[in-house]
Chain A
Amino acid sequence: MRLKSNKTVSRLTDNDVTDERTYLNRRQLLKSMGFVGAGALLSQSAQGIGWFDDDDENVFERRDLSFTQPDQFQINDTVTPEVKSTSYNNFYEFGTDKGDPAENAQDFTVDPWSLTIDGLVEKPITLSYDDLFKRFDLEERIYRLRCVEAWSMVIPWIGFELANILQQAKPLSRAKFVAFQTLYDPEQMPGQRSRFVGGGVDYPYVEGLRLDEAMHSLSILSVGMYGKTLPPQNGAPIRLVVPWKYGFKSIKSIVRITLTEQMPPTTWNRLAPQEYGFYANVNPKVDHPRWSQARERRITTGGLLARNRIETQMFNGYPEVAPLYSGMDLSRFY
């Protein structure tokens, strides 16, 4: 098992990340030579809202997006305030404290970007930064996000169904799984430079879904939230959102999606296999070895005294995914 997953890892890492990096370096060079106009810099600082204490720090520039709002995804749960969901993040590439990503990621470069869909497909696809927003119609979906740490939020994502792009790539019949990979760029991501910052995780961060899970209409690739493009701490420019699974499955800042025959390795499973499985479906009946998953604290408004402890729902309240797992013992395949 161990050997097998290692093999997959090396295949995954042996990719065009280097191209990616020379690309980015070129942009940094341009920047340092002053070629990236003053306008870009000005508009960045104009958005400063004083949240990230230091005055001289840039705040990442976010654009308004245009999108539809299908009724079925406009749910009743109170939406988490944007200031909370964009300042309380797990993104170890930028540090392990919840506030680190918002603090350390503001200079993250997302344009140019390149997202490749390859592996067992007929037609590999590469999307540029602009393609991410133009290739598919965008829609807003308000989803519950349940973290494995027993807190949750409600977030208005903007994106498109993962199935749309997978279909365009035409999976071969041998393809059974979908592997995802976050950008590997230690120059931009301090957590990848030093294990003291990055929590001892083996980078790049990788995740995976079974192909039928990936094709489910609830699985989306998100390029925005709260009406605008994503901030880096939430996974700009493009991230996965799989609302019936624990948050760590919803991998951020994706550069590569690879269809595979074998179950791909996933980062938290590699770190602690007895605590985090491949499936990681939200399940109130299967506890994390170190804490109960029966309840969660819903983070919306209200401070410490808010009575925000609620029952965790099976599949995070998305029962329509249950058929994907019929006949499976979910306490074994956690």
Chain B
Amino acid sequence: MQALSATPLRLSERRILILKWLLHGVSFSWVAYVFFTAVTDQVAGDPVDRLLHFTGMGALNLLLLSLAISPVAKRFRAANLIKLRRPTGLWAFSYALLHLATFVLFELQLEWALIGTEIIERPYITVGFSAFIILLLLAATSITAVRRRMGRRWQLLHNWVYVSAPLVVIHFYWSVKSDVVEPVVYGLLVLVLLYVRRERLRKIFRG
């Protein structure tokens, strides 16, 4: 995408640091608060449902936020915003991990036989699980040293993030009973985020 604004938006290192800590603070305290209310029986109704919903939506929102960072950085020529991308992606993974943990520990309550069959037999779980595996690989290779060692292959692997986002939306769409408005809106958001980097995606697909 072309840089459209005339003057670069210079964000000082301090500003970036503040944004980073804001991200950490909000992401951590919010999920900690929700788990606390669930454990102490302060959730109206079913705590497991509340957690699945909160962590699932949280993971999706953070994933989309991480995908929005580079277009925004380019648009406003605020190059060092990119520094927020890795922590945002890692928070998306952390929420997804808590989402999976909620499902295994509290929904299925460690009934291992069922965990296997649910992942294989329920298409929406299969799709969610695939997205999770992608996020897991991306998170595991996000350390700078690993990144250096992987060289060109690192970028190839991390291009899979563009697959994970649509997978999550399909997972979301499939998981609801009838209320498809929200997943459809998220689907449109993903399309926008993919559209703004269409040149890049075209190159990736040409190989």
Interface residues of A (CB under 8 A from B): 51, 83-84, 87-88, 92, 96, 98-99, 102, 149, 151, 195-196, 199-201, 271-272, 290-292, 294-295, 297, 299, 301-305, 307, 309
Specify which chain B residues have a CB less than 8 angstroms from the CB of A294 in the assembled complex.
Answer: 114
| B44 and A102 within 8 A (CB) | yes
Interface magnitude class on chain B = 20 to 34
Q: How far, in whole Å, are A196 and B45 apart by their CA atoms in the complex?
A: 23
Smallest Cβ-Cβ distance to B114: which chain A residue: A292
- B111 touching A295, Cβ below 8 Å: yes
Partner of B41, one of A98, A149, A292, A302: A302
Contact B178 A201, beta carbon cutoff 8 Å:
yes
CB distance from B31 to the nearest CB of A (A): 13
List the 6 closest A-B pairs by CB distance, nearest first: A88-B45, A303-B41, A199-B179, A87-B44, A304-B38, A309-B109
Across the interface, name the chain B residue whose C-beta is closest to A291: B122
- Shortest CB-to-CB span from A19 to chain B, Å, is 30
Question: B40 interface residue, CB < 8 Å from A?
Answer: yes
- Check if B51 sits within 8 Å of A304, measured CB to CB: yes
Residues of B within 8 A of A (CB): 35, 38-49, 51, 106-109, 111, 114, 117-118, 122-124, 174-175, 177-181
| Contact in complex: B180, A98 (CB < 8 Å) | no
**Closest A residue, CB atoms, query B102:** A304
State how many angstroms separate the Cβ of A151 from the closest Cβ of chain B: 6
Q: Is the CB of B178 within 8 A of A99?
A: no
What's the nearest-Cβ distance from chain A to residue B112, in Å? 13
Whether the pair A200, B180 counts as a contact (CB closer than 8 A) is yes
Q: How far is the CB of B106 from chain A (nearest CB, A)?
A: 6
Q: Check A196–B181 contact: CB distance below 8 A.
A: yes
Known: A151-B46, A297-B46, A304-B51. A290 touches B180 (CB 8 A): no
29 sampled A-B residue pairs with Cβ under 8 A: A84-B44, A87-B44, A87-B45, A88-B46, A92-B178, A96-B179, A99-B44, A149-B177, A151-B49, A199-B178, A200-B178, A200-B179, A272-B178, A290-B122, A290-B175, A291-B118, A291-B122, A292-B114, A292-B118, A299-B46, A301-B41, A302-B41, A303-B39, A303-B42, A304-B35, A304-B39, A304-B47, A304-B106, A309-B109
Q: Which of B44, B108, B122, B175 has the most CB of A within 10 A?
A: B44
Which one of B35, B118, B177 has the greatest number of beta carbons of chain A within 10 Å?
A: B177
CA distance A272 to B180 in the complex (A): 13
Which residues of the partner chain A approach B111 to less than 8 Å between Cβ atoms? 295, 309
**Contact yes or no, B45 A305, CB < 8 A:** no
In the bound complex, residues from chain A placing their C-beta under 8 Å from that of B123 are: 290
CB-nearest residue of chain A to B43: A303
Chain B residues, CB < 8 A from A307: 109
How far is the CB of A27 from the nearest CB of chain B, in Å?
30
Q: Closest B residue to A301 by CB, please name it.
A: B41
- A200: which B residues are within 8 A, CB to CB? 178-181
Give every chain B residue within 8 A of A291 (Cβ-Cβ): 118, 122
Measured in the bound complex, the distance between the Cα atoms of B118 and A51 in whole Å is: 36
- A242 nearest CB across to chain B (Å): 20
Across the interface, do B45 and A98 meet the contact criterion of CB distance under 8 Å? yes
Flag if A199 contacts B177 (CB, 8 Å).
yes
- In the bound complex, CA of A195 to CA of B43 (Å): 27
Say yes or no: A303 contacts B178, CB within 8 Å. Answer: no
Which residues from A are CB-within-8-Å of B117? 292
CB-CB under 8 A from B45, the residues of chain A are: 84, 87-88, 98-99, 299
A303 to B181, CA, bound (A): 31
Name the B residues within 8 Å of A272 (CB-CB): 177-178
A84 to B35, CA, bound (A): 18
- Chain A residues closer than 8 Å to B107, beta-carbon distance: 297
Tell whether, in the assembled complex, residue B44 and residue A290 are in contact, meaning their CB atoms are under 8 Å apart. Answer: no
Which residues of B are found within 8 Å of A201, using beta-carbon distances?
178
**Contact call A303/B174, Cβ cutoff below 8 A:** no
Complex CA distance for A96 and B40, rounded to whole angstroms = 25
Q: State the CA gap A199–B181 with chains docked (Å).
A: 8
Q: Which residues of B contact A290 (CB under 8 A)?
A: 122-124, 174-175
CA distance A283 to B180 in the complex (A): 27
Residue numbers in B under 8 Å from A51 (CB-CB)? 44
- In the complex, given contacts A151-B49, A272-B177, what are 8 additional A-B residue pairs having Cβ atoms less than 8 angstroms apart? A83-B44, A290-B123, A290-B174, A291-B122, A297-B46, A303-B43, A304-B38, A304-B51
* Distance from B47 Cβ to chain A, minimum over Cβ atoms (Å): 5
Contacts of A98 in B (CB 8 A): 44-46, 49
Name A297's closest neighbour in chain B (CB-CB).
B48
For A83, the chain B residues whose CB sits under 8 A away are 44
Minimum CB–CB distance from B179 to chain A (whole Å) comes to 4
Q: How far is the CB of B34 from chain A (nearest CB, A)?
A: 10
CA of A299 to CA of B49 in the docked complex: distance in angstroms?
11
Q: Chain A residues near B118 (CB, 8 Å)?
A: 291-292
* B residues less than 8 Å from A88 (CB atoms): 44-46
Docked Cα-Cα span, A16 to B117, in Å, equals 50
Chain B residue, CB-CB nearest to A85:
B45
Shortest CB distance B176–A (Å): 8
